[in-house]
Structures are given as structure tokens and as C-alpha cells.
Amino acid sequence: MSRPSQHEHQDDHTLAGEYVLGTLSLEQRKALEARLPNEPELQQAVMAWEERFLPYTAITDPVTPSDNLWPRIERSLASREALAKRARPASVVPPRPRRMLHSLPLWRGAAGFGLAAALVLGVMLANEVTEPTTPEYMVVLLAPQTQSAGWVVQASSRQEIELIPLGTFEVPEGKALEFWTKADEWQAPVSLGLVEPGQPIRLRLDELPPLEDNQLFELTLEDETGSPTGLPTGPIEFIGRAVEI
């Protein structure tokens, strides 16, 4: 048996992602499930996607679908099948190798996780193409009270991070947002400076140990000049932990 080509490997990896997101058609899903028992690499791809998406299922609360949802979906699918039969193509063009970054179903499925998960997925897929030699990390900072995503921390190396806002946040007069981080073995959090609401910033971490998995990041509300003690004193506005991707 010949070894799969790079394009085939990427295509299977994309299919695994679509399978986990539930965006495959019934026929595609059954075909992939039939392959799973005999293809360890495909099994590993599915497990990898499940592990990657698992931390972000907490971003949104589960919603029970209404009773008329499935009948409406079935009617929509029946209409599309009827239109497809009436519009048969004159010739069949051989399909081009798919690229993960151009996989529309995968991006549609990612939208179900919200903006934060879509950003995470984009970084994951880019990593699959560029094959980085060092770990990359992602942090989704959530508001403790509402569990809504407010910021994303992206780390393309262990010594540099980018803080990206996902919306606007009103800071009371005389107050400021201060950015903190703390690894599991550290005795106390370290300030990374003040943050302007709604503005992305890029920070170097040269004076800190390398970024690690599960490292804590948070934004607290402090005096406009920052915490007077060098430690968080105000309420936590957004908080999250680093996940290796």
C-alpha cells in the first residue's frame, strides 16, 4: 500500500475537524466512521481536534433546540436536493486538492463556537500549514460574572504575546485595566502593564520564564496609575489559562 501524500494527509485532517464540528453530510460522516477502525492516523486526527476544541465549549451555554428544528432542517435539505437535481452540471470537473484554510464547512462550524473559537481555529489551521517548531499558546479571557469572551491572548513564541480585544469595555473614570500573568509554580502574579480598552497590544516576556501550558492570565480593574502594591488589588474583569495548540 502506498503512503498517503501530503495533500491527502491535510484533506483527512480537515475532514476530521469537520467531523468533530458536525458539519459533514450524513454520507461523508458514515464514510469517515467506516474508515476510523482501520486507520490509526485518522483516529488520532479526530482525537486531536476533540482535545483542541474541548476547552472552548465553556464559552457558550448549552441550548436545547426547539421541537420544530429538525423538521425545518429536513424541509430545507429536501428543497436543496430538488434544486440540485434540476441543475445538473454539463460536465464534471476533477476536484482540486482541498486546503484547510479554504474549507468553508469547517469555518461555518467554527462560527458555532463564537468569535473566540473561530480565532483559535484560524491559528490552528495556520499552524498545520506552516508546521512551527515551537509550541504556540492561546488564551481566551472570560468575564467571571457572565462567562463571555472579552479578550484573546495569542502567543506565537514563548517570549512574545499579543492581547487582542473581542469587543469594547467601559472603564470607570480614574481606573485602568492592568494585565497580569502567573504560572503554576510562581508565588505571585506579575504585572504586564496597563491596557487600553479595545486596543490590541504586543508584549515581550524577555524577563519572565518561558510561557507554559495552563499559565494564568487576567485583567483587573486598578487605579489609573496601576496597582499600588505590585499585586492585583481590584476586581478581576477577565481571566483565562493558556492552552497549547
Q: Write out the three cell numbers for 151.
A: 479578550
Which residue type, as a one-letter code, is found at position 189?
P
- Domains defined for the chain, CATH in brackets: 6-86+100-111 (no CATH), 133-244 (2.60.40)
Mean pLDDT, each 10-residue run in order, the chain (245 residues): 51 80 80 88 82 59 64 69 60 48 51 52 53 67 86 82 87 94 92 92 85 91 93 93 84
> In this structure, are residues 211 and 242 in contact, taking their beta carbons and an 8 Å threshold?
yes
Q: Return the pLDDT at 228.
A: 92
> In this structure, are residues 159 and 204 in contact, taking their beta carbons and an 8 Å threshold?
yes
Which residue type, as a one-letter code, is found at position 69?
L
How close are the terminal C-alpha atoms of the chain, in Å?
Answer: 32
DSSP 8-state secondary structure symbol assigned to residue 176: E
What are the C-alpha distances in Å from 241 to residues 12, 36, 233?
30, 32, 20
Q: How long, in residues, is the chain? A: 245
d(C-alpha 149, C-alpha 8), whole Å: 35
> In this structure, are residues 230 and 189 in contact, taking their beta carbons and an 8 Å threshold?
no
Q: Return the pLDDT at 119.
A: 56
Q: What is the pTM of this model?
A: 0.51
Helices (H), the chain: 6-21, 26-35, 40-53, 69-86, 104-111, 115-130
Q: Return the pLDDT at 86.
A: 61
Nearest by Cα to 148 from 20, 38, 60: 60
